[in-house]
Chains A and B, each alone.
Chain A
Amino acid sequence: MSQSSSQTPDSWIGTFCNLVGHEYFAEVSEDFIEDDFNLTGLQAQVPMYKEALEMILDVEPSDTNSSALSEEEEEEEEEDDGILGDELDEPAANQNGAARRQSGVSSTGRRHGRTSSDASVIESSAELLYGLIHARYITSRPGIQQMMEKYELSHFGFCPRVYCSGAKVLPVGLTDTPGQQTVKLFCPSCLDAYTPPNSRFQAVDGAFFGTTFPYLFFMTYPDLDVAPLKKRSTRDAAQGNDDIESTLSPTEPNATRAGMTVSRSSSLTLPQTPSIPGVAQAKDEKSSVTLSTLPPQPPAINGIATHNLAPGLGKGKIYEPKIYGFRVSERAKSGPRMKWLRSKPLDINELDEARIWHERYGGTLDGDDDIPAVSEQQDNEDAAEDEEEEEADPDGDAIMASQGQAPTNNRAKSKRLPDGDGDATMTTQGQGQKRGKARRKSTTTRNQGVEVSAQQLGQQQAGSNWI
């Protein structure tokens, strides 16, 4: 957390981040920049790389020093770095610390030095370089922490979508190549990208934030509540579809509504909330029937907490066009055709594609069948899959037991003969989801099981001859 304040205010980085329009930037720590590993490949992308790097790090330009950053020698006090002195020198030649022949170039020859246009080129190079480093930095641990601070202070603003009711957004680039797209904002509540409201951000390159950052951020902080806590459930209760509730200014205190913060999740995950069925009936009878018989919702789906999966989408969060109170039919020429974009299943289990698939076609999540070892034939398979565990720990039983699998004994103790063929790879890939296998009994034969897993690994090919 110290990174954000580590920069002195008059450093280049500090100045750059305080410029108007640069509010989204985090201050990259100098340690990060000084690590050459973090700069891999940037030399080819940035002209005047060395000079730009020196500018970013506020290093006195020195052409004697070949190692671009760390030990700058103070003996030469000239401001110029001799670029103009030997004009033919390509910037690329300077970049990788190729020693500039200090003896060959007289310092007086370089004295006429860097012109203002030269400085501006370096300045823009420095901005480009800083942006590219920044894109890498904010996917590193200290960078993400720093962005977390900015996120919590709402430096990136809020989702403009009414039904997201002021969810906080994160900057994102639509491409990782600089110079193509400006920065956009990613809303975790509706999983969509928006243009920043203020035009001053139209000058900021999206590649300086990168395509990866926002979701990596939310994967790093899985417990972060994506939806604003205030007025969650009360909104649903009070108004249902028309709960466009005072979202005029997301920052405005809404004390009265903050009362019920029992559920941060959307109405979808809380079917028992008493007020919701009424709301739903008013809107859609068919779904309200479903609503009352909703199976228990899992705490997490597809790797993220259920209440954090697009809380701004789904029933009650989709705009319903009405004329004088009557809904516009889907069949009308001007009728709603984009509801799918904001939809989300009432029963979140419908998104558990792997489970649904296996419930229908057998097998388990790791693409293996789950027969407790009763036949000798199975030993080969088990041997293959247990191989992994054994490699990690000779006592495979202990590991499995600690995972809460409650494996059957004869399965765990089956002969473990590594068979070294394709099976091993298969189980390696599926190993992450191995738990729970023993719980699910199915009557599929071994042969089927192998086929299923093969199918799964092959991206679930369309071939359905085995059904």
Chain B
Amino acid sequence: MTRGLRLFYICFILFLLALPIIVVTGISLNEGRSLRFPPEGLSLRWYGALFQEGDWLQPLRHSLIIALSASLLSVTIALPLALYVWSRGNWLGRALHTLGIAPFMLPPVITALGFLVFWVSVGMYGQMLATIISHAIFLVTLPVVTISLGLRSIDMALVEAARTMGASRGQILRGVILPLIMPYIISGFAFAFVLSLNEYIVAYMVAGFTVETLPIKIFNSLRYGYTPIMGVVAVLFVALAIVVFGLIGRYGDLPRLMGSDRSGER
């Protein structure tokens, strides 16, 4: 197949993927309360409304607090985990690696239900802290994967060289290893942040009726009355994801981060 045809196929699929987003963007620009495409009268009023209407502002605040705390927490768990797995090939290392990968591999409904019964048993059902911790565990896979990738790319000679120059274990960790994997830590954090912001089922099952997040709010609006603000949220989420992943792509090697090693060792 010729190069042009291949590019056409890729662009066509990307167009299909963009189609719903284009329509939703159009909807978010409606002047009135109706969800029309093409929009009837162009206006940004619903973008303002998201930040003014109390029943959307509160979920926005919840979502941001949860995403920020949860992604920080998941990096805090993932970093020592990845370091341990990287440095030791024993049974605990292997078990930890599986535990770190598992949350994202299983259907999220199961994990969500697990969290539900757990928080009910502990007596924290319906609290924001429960949502934060649940998200941190659920999304821990992402920083685990990115940080492990970063650790694998470290040339062991660097660590050996630091040792011969008299660096202690802590000094090597702080002075050599952490700076080298910092981009991977940051991208792990960014991945977890974006996905937590978008996450619905875990947040819903753990505290859906008390701590409303934006996805939950959208889902409720799907049932109890559409408004163009839903489109606004969708557009902002897509835009944020593009900015975050775009930045990672701009300052890092995204194909490499996604597992292509053409630019790598071999």
**Interaction A to B:** no
Which B residues lie at the A interface, using CB under 8 A? none
